[in-house]
Chains A and B, each alone.
Chain A
């Protein structure tokens, strides 16, 4: 073999080794984080509301696993604090609707709430799923998908942060909330610089522009959850500002008054272009959905999901 050829093979071999090591190190969740930091209309992030609650009980590990299997980017879940200080996944203040027990989450100890079993959607009983802790959720998603923490806003950010630190998943959690930056800063101080925070832009907030400005000039968020009951809403007009500034616009396709009626249900009944397609055309770089499977299929068909 000629020496020159040997060198070439050698250099290709070394390069390949580095490449393979590098690509192993970049986890799926790190790739998702990159997309979150660099919002783009060419790659739409999919956020699944309460896990895939059509497949498994809402806010259950099975519903989260299903999201991982579907290839969604972010799982939106709700967390509340038990009386002995554990964050557990539960939407309502009480366990009545979603478990076989009754009472407020805040009146259960972790051990007590673990004895309950979750119900499926429509109140269908006899799932074997338990109420998961934030720690269990973060261990399950580690390196895989991101989690959007709902209900923790302005209450349990500190408790949640401790769990993220312990599980090494600070980069995988997106906090969100409605409070002004001043309020959040007052409550959490320097912690606001250590977490990923996505403020919500509400159409009913009369000072929504000043609200955003305060965030822009301080923590400068990657993304805003942007809600508008109609195209006349101030928040709708703000979309172009978001996109101009390179910020992500997370559209919420769940219910009429969150997305000017361009909901998941409309996507199914009247075709995806009328709902998801419209939101993307208006600048959405991410969509929260109750139909993760169908949305993923639509985005793939439109080449809006890079591998």
Chain B
């Protein structure tokens, strides 16, 4: 037996093994697990409200669009509960009024896509609506029911901030429920209108509940609209739509925060954030850098889990 053969074989073996190690990919499940929120720190609602009203700190507020719609029907109590458990700061839900004056959570004008029934919300009664089941993300029936705004706010009370979308036209009715559930300090109502208009239409509520103006960066007078709000209301935040980041208003974000209002930008769709959206971030999370570089401190997302992991890794979230 020639020992030289061994000298050839052993390095060959080592090479084989190292090759194998080379192609062996990291167990994907581990990689996926590391993106899970590790800490289940219980954050008090007081801390969340403090963070919301402090526009100057580094903590970024994560807002989950329609609740956790990936894992529960959109706008369901389960979708809200999932957000609370995930450590999301604020849940965005859609409010509509039934024919008989009940406020319910529903995104579309009709109930066709998300429930087992059909018709327009404002043609239907609560008696009928509460017999229906919600559908999941691919349209299949689930055991979950349509929640009323009252049920939703009771669930959120003391646990998570709330943003009511589609709420402007029914501001008064929404405020009634907010008052009844004692959630005024943790709810945001919003609308894409100038200060004078909201003052005229709903001025009586402006010192009772947070109102957030929506500003479209491509409107030529957006700066004036912002300045008027800063002078008269100093809202807790502005929601900006930024189709391209060449708009001058983006450079003004740090000033706005210095003056006491937070800056909210959606990561949902490309035209909200000049192409720095959740879908891009799912492939490369550093896409979210754009928000931090531009002094955004509230982000509404369709990927709360991913965004939380990103922010925590950058020490921008508890």
Report how far A16 CA is from B277 CA in the complex, Å.
49
Residues of chain B within 8 A of A21, CB atoms compared = 16
B138, A71: Cβ atoms closer than 8 Å: no
* Contacting residue for B138 out of A1, A58, A293, CB 8 A: A58
B6 touches A121 (CB 8 A): no
Instruction: Point out which of B17, B113, B279 has the most chain A C-beta atoms below 10 A from its C-beta.
Output: B279
Q: State which of B5, B66, B279 has its C-beta within 8 Å of the C-beta of A126.
A: B279
- Contact present for A121 and B69 (CB under 8 Å): yes
- B3 at the A/B interface (Cβ < 8 Å)? yes
Pick from B3, B74, B268, B269: contact of A1, CB below 8 A. Answer: B3
How many residues of chain A have a CB within 8 Å of chain B? 43
Given contacts A71-B29, A97-B139, A126-B268, contact A16 B3 (CB under 8 A): no
CB distance from A14 to the nearest CB of B (A): 7
- A6 in contact with B1 (CB, 8 Å): yes
B292 at the interface (CB under 8 A from A): no
Asked whether A54 lies within 8 Å of B279 as measured between CB atoms, the reply is no
Alpha-carbon gap, A296 to B280, bound state (A): 27
A-facing residues in B27-77 (Cβ within 8 Å): 27-29, 31-32, 65-66, 69-71, 74
Question: Helix, strand, loop or mixed for chain A's interface?
Answer: helix
Q: Which residues of A contact B (CB under 8 A)?
A: 1, 3, 6-7, 9-10, 13-14, 16-17, 20-21, 23-24, 50, 53-56, 58, 62, 68-71, 91, 97, 120-128, 254-255, 265, 269, 290, 293, 296
Residue contact B1 to A7, C-beta cutoff 8 Å: yes
> How close is B303's CB to chain A, nearest CB, in angstroms?
9
B residues in contact (CB < 8 Å) with A:
1, 3, 5-6, 9-10, 12-13, 16-17, 19-20, 23, 27-29, 31-32, 65-66, 69-71, 74, 113-114, 136-143, 268-270, 277, 279-280, 282, 302
B138 cross-chain contacts in A, Cβ below 8 A: 50, 53, 58, 91, 121, 290
B1 in contact with A10 (CB, 8 Å): yes
List chain B residues, Cβ under 8 A from A9: 6, 10
Shortest distance between the CB of A77 and any CB in chain B (Å): 13
Which residues in B have their C-beta under 8 angstroms from that of A293?
32
Query: What's the minimum C-beta distance from B6 to chain A, rounded to whole angstroms?
Result: 5
**A255: chain B residues within 8 A (beta carbon):** 140-141
- What's the nearest-Cβ distance from chain B to residue A71, in Å? 6
Residues of A contacting B71 with CB < 8 Å? Answer: 54
* Chain B residues in 8 Å Cβ range of A1: 3
